[in-house]
């Protein structure tokens, strides 16, 4: 007699790896887009790249300190279908609503005309989907789309599925009168959602624009955002860009930004990382002319098990250019920070001035910061400096403040705010500065004005 | 106002104060003198509540309430002010905003509303004039890059703003030239009233020419070993401390 054993393991549903899921869903994706286009050629090529490279692992030098393993285990819905209605009153707090602005808003990856305010007058502040499909925009798309984005793992993945995002084109000698806010909401209509916005910003000669970008989850359901933004600054253009990252603990973000600058242009990017689950910022500057200024600044304040990783690159290719980096980090509890700042100065890039500063405060002895400046200098007549500090709050300063009647919690907050304040000084939109100040006060759990 | 009885305190296991007694009444000025290492600064820090010091015995009463278990800010809210021997530099926080925060946090602790901006400005103007402080100075980061004299003057400016009941001046005269000393002493004298008290810790008689003490105490090896009037300071200046040590034997 044989006893009958059933092999239950065959009944266990094998959850598909996210990579396989993405690859196998590509056919469905292709049903929704125009496959007979130049752009789709680019997408298909990118998919091949991703298929070959896969998701980054800690074996890669660039991902040594950041593991996506737990994030990738979620069973993400790739094309969330149900578009949930959002009332303005529920999300107003995520806008810098004190100012008049253009708004390009997406909900679960889909454009929300209700929450947006776009324009085609004088300049284009509109949608990537229409720019990709409308013949009128083809020359710009042909010239700029996916031209500076790296052909690496996550950027390729974004390119493969690129269909929606903000499209901003400012012709030369034009000043955009009010800031542009790009906001991506996820509603959590699915248990887990993956979104991949794709933004393109082309700013003509001597044109000027200010942009605020935010990714915001509205529930505690898991979210993975893999965003790619390409920014082109033509001669003497001025771009002032702010990234506000203050998301739910279940939301992870990989932000891949690529910026190409021509002569005499100034591009400044401020990144405010106040948490989420895992936040990875890949911020890349390529200087393709002379007398360029690139400004990279950031404030990171996190706690719990939050993780923020800043990977910056400034590639000095031509002579007489500058770059200024100033990143401040405050880490509490078991949070982890990474700062990897790479500066490459090519042989031709004489008279380069490159400054990099990265200062960190570990509030808790369980918090970690991995700081790694990387300078590769091939020119001989340059000024390059980098400074990195890791410290605790000054106990003597704290006692001094307490002696004057400022309680310990408020004293700590004041010290931390003062520490981070050098980054806020260069914020040129007062309402953004106010908002960030308020977010910092919230983050530090104090109710003081910080009007230092 | 202040009543210290049998105060014993140590730092890192090392006993510094060994049975200190001191009583200060409203309206009085007390000078604490004594050789280096006698425990003068420790006394000031222990009264202010610095946590590194451990009180192993004795009591510190302020207006009848034992304050020895209170946090430093609570003592400040009760009217204790310490002018630091070495004021700490706080980059990124201006003098004005520091003092605003200090005043409003104290008011908050007392259940009061924040001081209206107009009143605050008026008070800042008054007190900075009293101490001959330039307006530009108030916009600078607290103590950052200040000269020794500027730091001390800034301490007394904060004292003027906070109007404490008990002010402890820890070697406020060190590093001051004669003009600055006069300005600082003048400031302290103007703030003196029948309701508040001042403890002046100093090495030198010089400051006591300007801030005339009612009592002079000699602190030696963690306790007060001799008390007299202003003339004791002159005697110490002339003869040094050795004769007191010998008297003790």
Report pLDDT digits (tens) over A8-37.
444 444 567 999 999 999 999 999 999 999
Q: Under an 8 A CB cutoff, do B88 and A397 touch?
A: yes
Comparing CB atoms, the residue among B81, B84, B102 nearest residue A406 is B102
Pairing mode, strands B141-142 and B90-94: antiparallel
Residues of B in contact with A400 (CB under 8 A): 84, 87-88, 90
Q: What are phi and psi of A159, to 5 degrees?
A: -60, -40
ipTM: 0.96
What is the DSSP code (8-state) at residue A202? Answer: E
DSSP state of B240: -
pLDDT value at residue A450? 63
Q: Do residues B208 and B200 make contact, with C-beta atoms less than 8 angstroms apart? A: yes
Q: Is A425 on the interface with B (CB under 8 A)?
A: no
pLDDT tens track for B209-246: 999 999 999 999 999 999 999 999 999 989 988 888 88
Is the pLDDT reported for residue A4 higher than 80?
A: no
* Confidence bin at A328 (pLDDT 50/70/90): very high
Distance of CA A37 to the CA centre of its chain: 29
Q: How far is CA A234 from CA A229, A239, A265, A286, in A?
A: 16, 10, 7, 12
Q: Per mean pLDDT, which range of A198-212, A233-247, B168-182 is the poorest?
A: B168-182
What is the C-alpha separation between A93 and A277, in angstroms, rounded?
20
Q: What is the pLDDT of residue A86?
A: 87
Residue A422 to chain B, least CA–CA distance (Å) = 8
Q: How far is residue B32's CA from residue B170's CA, in Å, rounded to a whole number?
A: 9
* Structural domain containing residue B231: 2-248
Among the partner-chain residues B73, B81, B92, the one whose CB lies closest to the CB of A419 is B92
User: In sequence order, what are the beta bridge partners of A361?
Assistant: A330, A391
Q: How far is B70 from chain A (nearest CA, A)?
A: 11
Report pLDDT for A451.
60
Q: What's the token pair of residue A155?
A: 């950027």
* Cα radius of gyration (chain B): 18
From first to last of its 249 residues, chain B has per-residue pLDDT tens of 999 999 999 999 999 999 999 999 999 999 999 988 999 999 999 999 999 999 999 999 999 999 999 999 999 999 999 999 999 999 888 999 899 999 999 999 999 999 999 999 999 999 999 999 988 899 999 999 999 889 999 999 999 999 999 999 999 998 888 998 999 999 999 999 999 999 999 988 889 999 999 999 999 999 999 999 999 999 998 998 888 888 877
Residue ranges with strand state E in A274-382: 278-287, 293-302, 307-316, 322-331, 336-345, 353-362, 368-377
Map A129-185 to HEC letters.
HHHHHCHHHHHHHHHHCCCCCCCCHHHHHHHHCCCCCEEEEECCCCECCCCEEEEEE
CATH at B78: 3.40.50.300
Closest Cβ opposite residue A405 in set B51, B97, B102:
B102
Name chain B contacts of A403, Cβ cutoff 8 Å: 48-49, 72-73, 75-76, 80-82, 84
**Min Cα separation A63/chain B (Å):** 34
Residues in B closer than 8 angstroms to A399, CB to CB, are: 50-51, 72, 88
Residue pairs spanning A and B at CB distance below 8 A: 78
Q: Quote the strand ranges of B67-119, DSSP E.
A: 80-83, 90-94
Q: Could you tell me which residues come within 8 angstroms of residue B108 by beta carbon, excluding any fewer than 6 positions away?
A: B114
Using a CB-CB cut-off of 8 Å, the residues of chain A touching B80 are: 403
Distance in angstroms (rounded) separating the CA atoms of residues B142 and B176 = 18
d(CA A231, CA A241): 10
> Which residues of chain A neighbour B85 with C-beta distances below 8 Å?
none
User: Taking CB atoms and an 8 Å limit, are B97 and A399 in contact across chains?
Assistant: no
Chain B residues with beta carbon closer than 8 angstroms to that of A414: 93, 101
**DSSP string for residues in A230-276:** EEEE-TT-EEEEEEEE---TTEEEEEEEEEEE-TT-EEEEEEEE---
Whether residues A418 and B105 touch (CB distance < 8 A) is answered with no
Touching check for A133 and chain B: CB below 8 Å?
no
> A414–B93: do the CB atoms touch at under 8 Å?
yes
Among chain B residues, the shortest Cα distance to A393 is held by: B90
Q: Is A405 on the interface with B (CB under 8 A)?
A: yes
- List, as own/partner pairs, every contact residues A65-69 make where C-beta atoms lie below 8 angstroms and the sequence separation is at least 24, other chains included: A65/A309, A65/A336, A65/A338, A65/A340, A65/A370, A66/A278, A66/A280, A66/A307, A66/A309, A66/A338, A68/A252, A68/A254, A68/A278
* Residue B139 distance to chain A (closest CA, Å): 9
Ramachandran bin of A47, using left for φ above 0, alpha for ψ from -120 to 50, beta for the remaining angles: alpha
Total structural domains within chain B: 1
How is A17-72 classified by DSSP, letter by letter?
Answer: PHHHHHHHTHHHHHTTS--SSHHHHHHHHHHHHHHHH-S--TTSGGGTT---HHHH
- Establish if A41 touches chain B: CB-CB under 8 angstroms: no
d(CA A262, CA A290): 7
Q: What is the mean pLDDT of chain A?
A: 93
pLDDT at A3: 47
Per-residue pLDDT of A44-74, as tens digits, reads 999 999 999 999 999 999 999 999 999 999 9
pLDDT value at residue B92: 84
CA-nearest residue to B94 within chain A is A452
């Amino acid at each position: 007699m044989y006893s009958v054993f059933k092999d239950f393991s065959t009944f266990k549903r094998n959850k598909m790896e996210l990579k396989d899921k993405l690859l196998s869903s590509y056919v469905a994706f292709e049903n929704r887009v125009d496959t007979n286009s130049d752009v789709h050629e680019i997408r298909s090529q990118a998919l091949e790249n991703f298929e070959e490279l896969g998701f980054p692992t800690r074996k890669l030098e660039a991902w040594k300190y950041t593991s996506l393993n737990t994030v990738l285990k979620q069973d993400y819905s790739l094309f969330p279908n149900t578009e949930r209605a959002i009332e303005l009153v529920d999300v107003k707090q995520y806008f810098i609503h004190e100012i008049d602005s253009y708004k390009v808003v997406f909900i679960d990856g889909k454009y929300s005309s209700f929450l947006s305010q776009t324009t085609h007058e004088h300049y284009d502040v509109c949608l990537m989907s229409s720019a990709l499909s409308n013949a009128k925009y083809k020359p710009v798309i042909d010239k700029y789309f996916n031209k500076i984005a790296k052909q690496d793992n996550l950027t390729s993945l974004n390119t493969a599925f690129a269909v929606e995002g903000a499209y901003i084109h400012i012709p030369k000698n034009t000043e955009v009168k009010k800031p542009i806010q790009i906001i991506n909401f996820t509603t959590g209509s699915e248990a887990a959602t993956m979104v991949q916005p794709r933004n393109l910003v082309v700013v003509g000669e001597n044109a000027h624009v200010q942009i605020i970008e935010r990714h915001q989850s509205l529930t505690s359901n898991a979210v993975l955002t893999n965003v790619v933004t390409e920014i082109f600054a033509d001669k003497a253009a001025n771009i002032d860009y702010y990234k506000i990252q203050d998301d739910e603990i279940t939301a992870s973000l990989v932000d891949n930004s690529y910026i190409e600058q021509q002569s005499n242009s100034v591009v400044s990017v401020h990144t405010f990382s106040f948490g989420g689950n895992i936040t990875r910022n890949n911020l890349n500057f390529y200087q393709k002319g002379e007398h360029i200024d690139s400004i990279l600044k950031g404030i990171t304040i996190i706690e719990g098990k939050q993780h923020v990783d800043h990977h910056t690159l400034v590639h000095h290719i031509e002579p007489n250019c500058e770059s200024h980096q100033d990143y401040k980090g405050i880490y509490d509890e078991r949070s982890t920070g990474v700062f990897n700042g790479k500066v490459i100065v090519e042989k031709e890039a004489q008279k380069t001035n490159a400054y990099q500063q990265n200062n960190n405060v570990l509030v808790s002895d369980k918090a970690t910061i991995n700081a790694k400046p990387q300078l590769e200098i091939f020119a001989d007549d340059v000024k390059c400096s980098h400074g990195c500090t890791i410290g605790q709050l000054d106990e003597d300063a704290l006692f001094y403040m307490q002696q004057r009647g400022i309680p310990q919690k408020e004293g700590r907050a004041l010290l931390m705010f003062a520490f981070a304040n050098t980054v806020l000084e260069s914020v040129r939109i007062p309402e953004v500065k106010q908002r960030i100040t308020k977010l910092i006060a919230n983050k530090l759990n104090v109710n003081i004005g910080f009007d230092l | 106002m202040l009543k210290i009885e049998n105060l014993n305190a140590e730092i890192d296991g090392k006993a510094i104060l060994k049975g200190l007694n001191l009583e200060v009444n409203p309206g009085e000025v007390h000078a604490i003198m004594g050789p280096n290492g006698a425990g003068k600064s420790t006394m000031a820090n222990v009264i202010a509540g610095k946590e590194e010091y451990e009180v192993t015995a004795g009591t510190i009463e302020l207006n009848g309430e034992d304050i020895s278990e209170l946090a430093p800010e609570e003592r400040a809210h009760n009217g204790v002010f310490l002018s630091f021997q070495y004021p700490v530099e706080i980059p990124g926080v201006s003098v004005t905003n520091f003092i605003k925060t200090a005043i409003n946090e104290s008011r908050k602790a007392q259940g009061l509303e924040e001081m209206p901006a107009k009143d605050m400005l008026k008070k800042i103007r008054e007190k900075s004039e009293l101490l001959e402080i330039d307006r530009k100075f108030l916009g600078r980061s607290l103590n950052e890059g200040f000269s020794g004299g500027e730091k001390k003057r800034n301490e007394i400016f904060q004292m003027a703003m906070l109007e404490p009941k008990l002010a402890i001046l820890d070697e406020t005269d060190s590093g001051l030239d004669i003009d600055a000393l006069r300005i600082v002493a003048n400031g302290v004298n103007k703030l003196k009233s029948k309701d508040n008290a001042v403890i002046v810790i100093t090495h030198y008689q010089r400051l006591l020419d300007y801030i005339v003490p009612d009592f002079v105490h000699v602190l030696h090896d963690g306790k007060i070993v001799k008390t007299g009037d202003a003339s004791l300071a002159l005697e110490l200046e002339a003869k040094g401390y050795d004769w007191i040590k010998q008297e003790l034997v």
